[in-house]
Structure 1
Amino acid sequence: MTYKKPLPHPNADDKIFWEGCREHQLRFQKCEECGLVRWPPSAICPNCYSRDTIWITAAGKGKVYTFAIFHRAYHPGFEGELPYVTAVVELEEGPHFLTNMVGCRPDEVSCDMVVEVIWEDITEEFSLPKFRPVS
């Protein structure tokens, strides 16, 4: 079955993130100078302007910071999934991460809901991190 939704377009900054996703690992940059774990990735820490960065593997747990329920498809690939939920998840490590909520009805999603990452293998090259409620 062909994947009909938009695919990611990795660049030099987020290549390691997408490689991690393919291995079902949620990777983020961490500043060696101030310790900030950040998303999106960047060459310079937005907190202290250091260029000393490492990549860490996050636990994939957090809570819903905010969310929106989509009742209209803005791309034909999403028409069969309406309504669906996009959410900003505040991860335990600190970053806020835009994602899709799965594993529950849209009316069950709430701010501060505890969630965990799951993976959708969409092609041989890409796996997408999505989040579901922790039961």
Structure 2
Amino acid sequence: MAPSRPLPQLTVVNAPFWAGCREHRLRLPRCRDCGLVWFPIYERCTRCTSTNLEWIDASGRGVLWGWIEMHKGYIPWFADKLPYNVALIRLDEGPMIYSNIIDARFEDLRADLPVEVVFDDIDDTISLPQFRILPS
């Protein structure tokens, strides 16, 4: 039997994010009191601790801030995907998100490379945000 893919745990707190991903929309919480947009998802603003938040549709664009290339399969599902990259993206809205850059060679990655979100539809409930390099 093939190893199963690790999937996010859906909670009441992160449900709007994952529902947005399923609709191919990158949704993020924004504080109605101080305006901060943040990720990962928390119940309270990470700046002022307000619970007065709203969900916004993010642009889905950002820049590659940092990355590594994985050569060891610590999680069995990834063993036949080696090597793969793990990327840290600074979204245009400010927060950072870990993901992958798809369809790119490791040697093509560089700091501040413009990227945009794409979604990998895993099943009927989960779509994972990944990123691709924007054409120049």
How many pairs were matched up?
134
Which residue identity is paired with 2:27?
R
Give the TM-score, by structure 2 length.
0.93
Residue in structure 2 matched with residue 58 of structure 1 by the alignment: 58
Are the equivalent residues in 2 in contact too, given 1:88–1:96 (CA < 8 A)?
A: yes
Q: Which runs of 5+ in 2 are unaligned?
A: none
The whole-number CA distance in structure 1 between the counterparts of 2:96 and 2:10 is 19
Are 1:102 and 2:98 counterparts? no
Residue in structure 2 matched with residue 79 of structure 1 by the alignment: 79
Residue in structure 2 matched with residue 128 of structure 1 by the alignment: 128
Are the equivalent residues in 1 in contact too, given 2:87–2:99 (CA < 8 A)?
A: yes
Q: Which runs of 5+ in 1 are unaligned?
A: none
Deviation of 1:49 (Å): 1.8
The whole-number CA distance in structure 1 between the counterparts of 2:11 and 2:127 is 16
Post-superposition Cα deviations, 1:69-103, rounded to whole Å, max 9, x if no partner, equal 10111112111211100111000011101111111
The whole-number CA distance in structure 1 between the counterparts of 2:133 and 2:44 is 33
Deviation of 1:3 (Å): 8.3
Moved over 4 A (4+): none
Identity of aligned residues (%): 38
Q: What is the root-mean-square deviation of aligned Cα atoms in Å?
A: 1.3
Residue in structure 2 matched with residue 118 of structure 1 by the alignment: 118
